Amino acid sequence: MSGLDLDHTAGAASARQAKPRSIGASGRVYFWQTGSLWIGSGRGRSDWHDHHAHQLALALEGEFRFRADRKGPWTDYRAAIIPSHCPHEFELDGATVAHLFVEPESTEGRALSRRFAPQGLSTLPSAVARPSAQTLLDAFRGNADAEAMRAVARAVVATLAGTHAAVAAHEGDARIARALAYIKSRVRAPVSLADASAAAALSPSRFRHLFVQETGTSFRAYLLWLRINVAIEAAMAGASWTEAAHEAGFADSSHLTRTHRRMFGIEPTAIRHQ
């Protein structure tokens, strides 16, 4: 591949009337403490959805389309950011893409919030997105192992967030940071708001308010976000979706499917491990 043009174009996509199709995709998923990489090829259109994480979308081959207005035009992109809790639809026609999900509470997530969140769905700067996409494509094509893929993905996130040179100025409330660490350590077991507030040394009412202030979401919604990631990781490791649902604390696979579709706009079974 000679190079990657990662600017977006609105021309043909604005007027197109594509028939909606459910997304089918094949690829790999890698997780780390504050994010994940979904990389591979797919075809189809997602449901309208939103999720807690910032999403960095990079076209490695081809391009994809987003829209953040149900009645608005589609826009072609080769590099885009979808901020936390920004409702959107996604469509692609066989492109190879990398989706990087970054928790807003992380150092990189806070940097992305400051740089891009006020703009909503928007284009990532081509000067940093182009080499980042090429780096991910080279690792993917070279069948890099899981540890190497995670290292590449985290380096790309740091580059796009601008955190290689400087640490984010505001790291958040230390009490909520303690609660987040506690929640993550117990995500496979029942975790109540009372448990989390005790870990933060706060009353439940104060914790509830401060949690929303610091994370931008409710305790329950955040816990669901963590658990859906646990379930996906289990399924990618070979568990059935029923087994993955139980491991992550969902009542059953139907509950997992509903949550997955609401957060990612697709059925979990649409993802085929490559």
Q: Read off the pLDDT of residues 47-70 as tens digits, 9 standing for 90 and up.
A: 999 999 999 999 999 999 999 999
Fold identical between 11-161 and 174-273? no
Asked whether residue 180 carries a pLDDT value surpassing 80, the answer given is yes
CB 115 within 8 A of CB 161: yes
11 compared with 247, residue with greater pLDDT: 247
Q: Which of 6-10, 73-77, 78-82, 257-261 has the lowest mean pLDDT?
A: 6-10
CB 128 within 8 A of CB 159: yes
Q: Read off the pLDDT of residues 77-124 as tens digits, 9 standing for 90 and up.
A: 999 999 999 999 999 999 999 999 999 988 899 899 998 988 999 999
What amino acid is encoded at 236 in this protein? M
Q: What is the distance between the alpha carbons of residues 29 and 233, in angstroms, rounded to a whole number?
A: 7
DSSP codes joined into one string, 199-252: HTTS-HHHHHHHHHHHHSS-HHHHHHHHHHHHHHHHHHTT--HHHHHHHTT-SS
Do β-strands 122-123 and 89-102 pair in parallel, antiparallel, or remain unpaired?
Answer: unpaired
Give the pLDDT score at 151: 95
Q: Read off the pLDDT of residues 182-239 as tens digits, 9 standing for 90 and up.
A: 998 988 888 999 999 999 999 999 999 999 988 888 999 899 889 998 998 898 888 9
Q: What pTM did the predictor assign?
A: 0.82
Q: Read off the pLDDT of residues 7-62 as tens digits, 9 standing for 90 and up.
A: 444 444 443 444 457 778 888 999 988 899 999 999 999 999 999 999 999 999 99
CATH topology of domain 174-273: Arc Repressor Mutant, subunit A (1.10.10)
Q: What is the rounded end-to-end Cα distance, in angstroms, of the chain?
A: 21
Q: Provide the pLDDT confidence category of residue 274 given band limits of 50, 70 and 90.
A: low
CATH topology of domain 11-161: Jelly Rolls (2.60.120)
Q: Read off the pLDDT of residues 122-149 as tens digits, 9 standing for 90 and up.
A: 999 999 999 999 999 999 999 999 999 9
Q: What is the distance between the alpha carbons of residues 234 and 125, in angstroms, rounded to a whole number?
A: 34
Q: What is the distance between the alpha carbons of residues 273 and 234, in angstroms, rounded to a whole number?
A: 12
The mean pLDDT of 151-156, rounded to a whole number, is 95
The mean pLDDT of 230-252, rounded to a whole number, is 89
Domain boundaries, given as residue ranges, for the chain: 11-161, 174-273
Q: Provide the pLDDT confidence category of residue 171 given band limits of 50, 70 and 90.
A: low
